């Protein structure tokens, strides 16, 4: 299993694809004020949805 990860350079590929994903999400953040923050590493990237400039977290049906 580890040999396959090394031979196919899966860690490097995840890093490159994650960088691309994060870059695109940061571009969307500039366009849409609903996106408060973009963070993560590799392909484990997330974004925070907010309701205003003070970055109040967006809630669905009052549920945190």
CA triple 36-38-42, angle to 5 deg: 170
25 found inside a domain: yes
- Output the pLDDT for position 52: 87
* Number of domains present in the structure of the chain: 1
62 found inside a domain: no
- Output the pLDDT for position 45: 93
What DSSP string describes 1-64?
A: -HHHHHHTTHHHHHHHHHHHHHHHHHHHHHH-TTEEEEEEETTEEEEEEBSSTT-PBP-BTTB-
- Output the pLDDT for position 16: 95
16 found inside a domain: yes
The closest alpha carbon to 36, from 24, 22, 21, 51, belongs to 51
Range of the domain at 17: 2-49
61 found inside a domain: no
27 found inside a domain: yes
Residues of the chain below pLDDT 50? none
- Output the pLDDT for position 31: 96
28 found inside a domain: yes
- Output the pLDDT for position 64: 54
39 found inside a domain: yes
């Amino acid at each position: 299993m580890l040999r396959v990860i090394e031979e196919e350079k899966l860690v490097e590929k995840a890093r490159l694809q994650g960088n691309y994903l994060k870059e695109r999400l940061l571009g969307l953040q500039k366009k849409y004020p609903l996106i408060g923050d973009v963070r993560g590493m590799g392909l484990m990237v997330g974004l925070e949805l907010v309701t205003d400039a003070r970055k109040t977290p967006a809630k669905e049906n009052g549920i945190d």
